[in-house]
Structure 1
C-alpha cells in the first residue's frame, strides 16, 4: 500500500526515507534577532517525528539590513545563526528526517517598515502591485553583493549540519522578479533575454556549488507559471514554456532538484490556494518540468491532501516527491498515519487560509501564524503532551459541532469519559451548513476527521437528544461543556422582518427551503451572505446582494474574497454596497442609499437576512446554577469562525 510514496528517494547526495516533503511556509516562530527558536525546533521536529521525509524550513533571509519578510523570521545572514541551525538539524535527524533551509530575499514584495524604512530592492523600479512599497532598481554592485550573501548563507547552512539548501526563486520574490519579464525591465546584462534574466540566479547557483561542493544538495524552488491571465494580463510574466526552459538550464548548472510551484503576490491564489482549488489542479506544471529533465528529481505541489492521490501521481511519473506545506501544518502526523493505514484519522487541511491571514497580519497584531483546525501547530512546546488524569470521570458535552467535538476528543485523550448530547442526527454542527455553498466541500473533511476521532476514541454521542437538566443530573458529570452553537439574527427593529417571505442562511443551507427561478434579495455580504447568494444564483435564481458598509465583503480576508467573487461575478449577481435595509413588506425591501440619502425599493419573492448570528443561550443559567464546573464554548459563548470554535474546545478540555 502506498509503495511509491513510501519508497526511498534521493536528492543529490541526500537519501530520503520516503517521497514526502514539507515545503516551505512562514510560521512566525523565530526569535526577533532571526535565530532559530525553541519553538521552531519543536515545530519542525514534530513534522519529522510525524514521518515527513524532507522538511524544508520557511524562507530564511540572507540580508539582515533590507531583506526581511517579517520580524520573526529565520536568518542566515551571519555566523551567529549557526548554533541555532545546528540544533534544528540535530532535532530533525533524531527522527531520521532530512532538513533543507530555504534562502531568499523578498525584493519588491517586502515591507519597508520591517527593513529600516528603506526602499525594497528589485531588478527595476516598479513597485509590487499588491503591497505597494517604495522600490529601487538594484545597481550591479548591489547585485554582486547580494549574490555573495546568498553564497555565504549556503556555506553557513553546510557548517551547521543542515542537509541541503533551497534557493527561493518563486512566488514573486527577488530572484523570481529577475526571471519575470513582467517585473524585470532592465536593459543591461541582467534584463531582456531569458539568458540575461537568469544571470542573477545562475551566479547564485554556480557560486553555491563552487563554495559548498557537489556533495551539498542544492534545490531551487521555481514558479514556472505566473498565471497572469487570472488578473487580466494574459500572456504576460513568466509562462510555463519559459519556466520549463529555466528548469532545464538549472539542471545543466548542477542543481539537484527542482521544487515546482507557481504564482506571485499579484496572483497569489495560484500559489497559496483558497478553498475552491481542487486537489491536483496544477500538477501539470510538475509533469511538464519532469518530462524535460534528464536526471534530477521534481518536487511538486497542488493542494495535495490524500495519501492515495500522492502515491498515484508519483506512480504516474508526474513528479518524484510530493510536497505540501499547509497539510503538514494541519496534521504533523500525516505521513505516519498514511504509512500505518490510518488515513481516515488524518486532519486534512481545508484550505481556509487562516494560516496565511494570520501570517500576513502577524506584525500588526498579537496573533501569530495559526492553523484554522490544528491548535497545537506552532505551539508544540506549550502543548507537548496531554495529561492522562481524567480517571474515567464523566464530562457532559452539549453539542456535536467543532467546539464540542474538539473538547470531547481532548477529554477522551486525557482519559475522561465525554458524553456528547446532540439534538441532530449527525456530527458537525455549523460545519454541516458551511459545507453546502459551491466549492466548500473541503469542510466535510473536518467533519469526517471528527467522526473518525469519535469512533477511534469510543466517544459516546447521543444523537437526536437535546440536553435537559434532568438528563444531566442523571449523568452526574464531573463537568459540563456547553457548545450548543448559535442561530441567525433576525433584527426585530426592522419592520416586516418576521414576514413569511423572510428567510435565514440556515433555511437555505440546511435544505429546509429550496428555491428555483425566484427573485431573491440577500441582505448582508459577510462570507455567509456571499456564499448563500452564490448558491442561490447557481441554482437558477435571480439574486441581488446588499451591504450597508462601503464595500462588499467587509472584514473578509482578501484572498478568500477574491476567490468567492471570482465565482459569483460571472453569474451576474448585482451588488449594492452602501445600502441600509430600512423595512420589509411582503417582498418589498426598502433601503437607504447611504451615498445619496435617497430611498430605494426592490421587489423580491424572498429575502434572506444574513446579518450575523447570536449565541444559543438556553439552559446556560440553569446548568451553571446546578453544576460546579461549567464551561461555555465556541459560538455558545461568542459567535466566531472555525478556528475560534476548535480552539475553545481544545483549550477548555486541556485546562480541565
Structure 2
C-alpha cells in the first residue's frame, strides 16, 4: 500500500475546493479551523488520511506581514477590499520583489517590524540568502511563546479532524533555522550543542503529545543534507551524517515518521528541482536515514510514475511515497495508478511554472499554476469530466503540439468527433526541438502524455498529412482549431543570409553541429541559453549577445540560477546591452549605447531572436468557409508551453 502525501499549502487546497476566497484564512486560527473541518471531511469522504503540516518561516517571512497583517485583517471585512488589495500587490509582488536591489530592500523595511529568528545573520554578505530581510534574534520568552503556538496549532488540527500533523523542520524555515549550526548562533539553552539546537522541536513534540495524546501521529520533515557544498560553502550547515543524527533524535522524541527532504534557502534549487536533476535523486539519502531509524521514512524528489514509486518501495529505499508537483500536474495520478492507467498520467516535467506563480502570487489571493494542468486549484470551476455535449459533432484540429493535443483531448472527452491533422509523422511540434538541449529530455513528456490521453478519448490522428482547405471542408466540421505553431525568426539584417548564419532550429535538429568553433548566439532568452548549453557540450567557444541589459528577462529566477552559472563555468561569455547591426566576413558587428561599437569573430552565428506564428491556413479557411475558426498556441501568439496549453483548454471549454 502506498501513502501519497500532497505537500501543498492549505490555503491553496481550500481555494481549489472553493472554500476560501480570502488570504486571511491562511492565518486566522478561527477561520482556518472552520474551513479546515470542511476540507478534512472532504478528504475523509474519499477514504484518505489527512495530515496538516505546521510551518513557521522565521526570518524567511514576507517582511511586511509582521507589521501590516493585523491591520489587513481588520480592513478585510470591508466589501471589495481583497480585490483592491490584489491589484495593488500585483504591482510589487513576484520575482520583482525577490530581485529588488538588497539596499533598496533594506530601505523599504525601515519602518517594519523585524522577522523573528533564532539568530541575527551577518549583514552585507551576498553569499547568505535573504541577509537583507530585516530580522532579529528571539528572546527566550518569544521562543517559549512560539512553542505554545505550534502546540495550539496541532490542537486545532486535531479538532478539525486531521489524522495527524507534520512539523516542517527543513528548507531553511523556522525549525530548520534552529537545527542548523549555520543559522543557529545562540549561546543559551537553544543553541550551541546538538541537543540544544534540537530543544525547540523536543519541547513542541512533548507539548503536542500532552495536549493531543500519544496516539496522535507526528511526522517531522527534515533536511537530510543542507548541501551548502553545492553553493561553494561545504563548511557551512550540516551534511548527511548529522541529518541521520537528527532523524534518530526525532525518533527518540516520539516522531511517528521521518519525511526526508534536502537543502536550505541557500540551496533553493535543490528543494524544488528543475529538469537538471535526475529522477529519484534523493532516494539514497532516504535509504541512509531508513537504515538508521525504526520508524517509517517518507521521501519525495522527482518521483513521476507509479512504476517508479513501486520500485522504490520494493527496493526498500523508503516506506511511503511523497508527491507534490506530480499531483498538481495530474490530480488523478493516484486514481489512474489504482486503475492500471499509468500511460494516461500527465507527468510533471519540472518546468518550474508552479514555483514561478507561487512567487508571483505570494501576497495575493490568486492561485499558483501548472503548465500542464489548467484545472489546478480551479477544480470547482472546471470539473474533471465536463458535460458530454459534443453529441458526435465533427471537429477538426490542425497541429499536434501541446495546444492542438490539449484541444483535441478536451473536445473528445466532451463527445465531439475529433480529427487531428499533423504534417509530421509524430506529435510534438516545437517540443521536438525543445527537448534536444542537455537536461531537457523530460519536456517531451508533455506531448507524449497528451497524445496518449487523446487516443483514449477517441481522437482520430492523421499523421504525415498536411491539412488543406479541401481536406478540412470534406469533414464538414462544426469547429476548426488551428494549432499550427510557429517557426524561428530569421531577421532581414545585412549578412543574415550568409551560409554560416542560421536560426536555432537546424542546431537543435542536429542538422548543423559545429565543433571547436567560435559561435555567436544572438538572443539570451531561454532558447538561446539552451542552445548555448548544447553547443558548449560540443567544445565550442560561445558568446551570447542580447540587446537587453539582463539575461532572459521574464524567465524563472530559479531556472536562471542553475543554467547561467553552468554556462559561465563552461566558458560562455555574455555580452548584454549590445544590438546586432551587421554580419560580414565571419564577424558580427555590434553597437552599444554604453560601450560603442564592437566586432566579434564568428565561425557560426545562431539567431535566437524569437518565433513567428504559422497561421496561413487559418486565414485561408476564414476566406473559404463560414465554419468558426479558433487559433491557439504559437499559431496565435508565440509563447511558452503554459500559454499554449491553457489557451487551448479555455478556448475549447467555451465551445457549445
SS at match of 2:550: coil
**Partner residue, 1:512:** 511
Task: State the partner residue of 2:102.
Answer: none
Structure 1 residues 651 and 556, CA gap change in structure 2 (3 angstroms): same
Q: Is the 8 A contact 1:28 1:359 kept in 2?
A: no
**Offset at residue 566 of structure 1 (A):** 4.0
Distance 1:419 1:565, change over 3 A: same
- Residue-by-residue CA offset, 1:203-223 (whole Å, 9 max, x unaligned): 111111111111111111111
Corresponding position of 2:377: 378
User: Structure 1 stretch 614-623 or stretch 124-133: which is displaced more?
Assistant: 124-133
8 A contact 1:20–1:335 mirrored in 2? no
Residue equivalent to 2:208: 208
1:73/1:437 Cα in 2 relative to 1: closer, same or farther (>3 Å)? farther
1:89 aligns with 2:84: no
In structure 2, what is the Cα distance between the partners aligned to 1:424 and 1:134? Answer: 56
Task: Name the structure 2 match of 1:575.
Answer: 574
1:76 is displaced (CA, Å) by 6.4
Distance 1:560 1:27, change over 3 A: farther
The 3 A distance-change label for structure 1 pair 517 and 366 is farther
Seen in structure 2, the aligned counterparts of structure 1 residues 75 and 458 have a Cα distance that, compared at 3 Å, is closer
The alignment partner of 1:302 has SS state of coil
Q: Does the CA contact (< 8 Å) of 2:520 and 2:542 recur in 1? A: yes
Aligned equivalent of 2:525: 526
Deviations 1:153-206 (A, max 9, x none): 101111111111111111101111111111111111111111111111111111
Which residue in 2 is equivalent to 1:309? Answer: 308
Q: CA deviation at 1:38?
A: 6.3
Structure 2 CA distance for partners of 1:613 and 1:149, relative to 1, 3 Å = same
1:401-435 CA deviation, whole Å, 9 max, x = no partner?
A: 00000000000000101111111111011111111
Whole-Å separation in 1 of the counterparts to 2:309 and 2:579: 49
Which residue of the partner structure matches residue 48 of structure 1?
Answer: none
Residues 29 and 40, structure 1, Cα contact 8 Å, conserved in 2: no
Q: Distance in 1 between matches of 2:583 and 2:11?
A: 48
Single out whichever of 544-553 and 357-366 deviates more from structure 2. 357-366
1:380-459 maps to which residues of 2 (within 5 A)?
380-384=379-383, 385-459=385-459
Note if 1:248 corresponds to 2:243: no
Report the equivalent of 1:221: 221
The 1:386–1:605 alpha-carbon spacing in structure 2 relative to 1, beyond 3 Å, is: same
Structure 1 residue 39, shift from structure 2 partner: 2.5
Q: CA deviation at 1:588?
A: 1.3
Contact 1:20 1:321 in 2 (8 A): yes
Counterpart Cα distance in 1 of 2:517 and 2:454: 41
SS at match of 1:397: strand
Mark the runs of 5 or more structure 2 residues left unpaired by the alignment.
Answer: 69-111
TM-score, scaled to structure 1: 0.89
Alignment: residue pair count: 604
Alignment-derived partner of residue 33 in structure 1: none
Query: Aligned partners of 2:26, 2:404: CA distance in 1, in Å?
Result: 40
The alpha-carbon distance between structure 1 residues 20 and 586, as it changes in their structure 2 partners (threshold 3 A), is farther
Structure 1 unaligned blocks of 5 or more:
1-6, 8-18, 31-35, 44-70
- Paired with 2:319 and 2:453, the residues of 1 have a C-alpha distance of 32
- Classify 1:572/1:286 alpha carbon distance in 2 versus 1 (closer, same or farther; 3 Å): same
Aligned pairs for 1:521-600 (under 5 A) are: 521-597=520-596, 599-600=597-598
TM-score, normalising length: structure 2: 0.89
Counterpart check, 1:609 vs 2:603: no
Distance between the aligned counterparts of 1:308 and 1:378, measured in 2? Answer: 26
Shift in Å at residue 77 of structure 1? 5.2
The answer as to whether partners of 1:286 and 1:318 remain within 8 angstroms in 2 is yes
Q: What is the rounded CA distance, in whole Å, between the counterparts of 1:131 and 1:338 in structure 2?
A: 44
Residue matched to 1:231: 231
What is the CA–CA distance in structure 2 between the aligned matches of 1:476 and 1:232, rounded to whole Å?
A: 63
> Paired residue for 2:280?
280
Contact in 2 for aligned 1:422/1:463 (Cα 8 Å): yes
Query: Is contact 2:482-2:615 (8 Å) kept?
Result: no
Distance 1:27 1:424, change over 3 A: farther
Q: Deviations for 1:571-593, whole angstroms, at most 9, x for unmatched residues?
A: 21222222221111142101113
Structure 1 contact 486–639 (Cα < 8 Å) conserved: yes
- 2:113 aligns with 118
- Asked whether 1:21 is paired with 2:19, we answer no
Matches within 5 A, 1:149-168: 149-168=149-168
Question: What CA distance in whole angstroms lies between the structure 2 residues aligned with 1:523 and 1:230?
Answer: 31
Contact 1:179–1:238 (CA under 8 A) maintained in structure 2: no
Aligned to 1:3: none
Q: Which moved more, 1:372-381 or 1:576-585?
A: 576-585
Deviations 1:307-341 (A, max 9, x none): 22211121222110011200111111112222222
What is the CA distance between 1:81 and its match in structure 2?
A: 2.5
* C-alpha separation in 2, matches of 1:366 and 1:153: 22
Q: Partner of 2:591: helix, strand, or coil? A: strand
**Using the alignment, how far apart are the partners of 2:361 and 2:11 within structure 1?**
7
Corresponding position: 1:368 with 2:397: no
**Does residue 20 of structure 2 align to residue 102 of structure 1?**
no
Residues in 2 aligned to 1:164 and 1:460: alpha-carbon distance in whole angstroms: 48
- Structure 1 residue 20: deviation in Å? 3.0
SS of residue in 2 equivalent to 1:592: strand
Give the Cα–Cα distance (whole angstroms) in 1 for the partners of residues 175 and 498 of structure 2. 60
Distance 1:27 1:540 in 2: 48
Does structure 1 retain, via aligned residues, the 8 Å contact 2:16–2:376? no
SS at match of 1:631: strand
1:41-56 to 2 correspondences below 5 Å: none
Q: Distance in 2 between matches of 1:613 and 1:191?
A: 56
Q: Which moved more, 1:264-273 or 1:352-361?
A: 264-273
Q: CA deviation at 1:37?
A: 4.5
Offset, 1:244: 1.1
Provide the secondary structure at the position in 2 that maps to 1:438.
coil
Question: How many angstroms apart in 1 are the aligned matches of 2:522 and 2:583?
Answer: 11
Q: Which residue of 1 aligns with 2:263?
A: 263
Name the CA distance, whole Å, in 2 between partners of 1:226 and 1:306: 27
2:94 equivalent in structure 1: none
Q: Distance in 2 between matches of 1:214 and 1:526?
A: 55
CA contact (8 A) 2:435 2:441 kept: yes
* Larger helix percent: 2
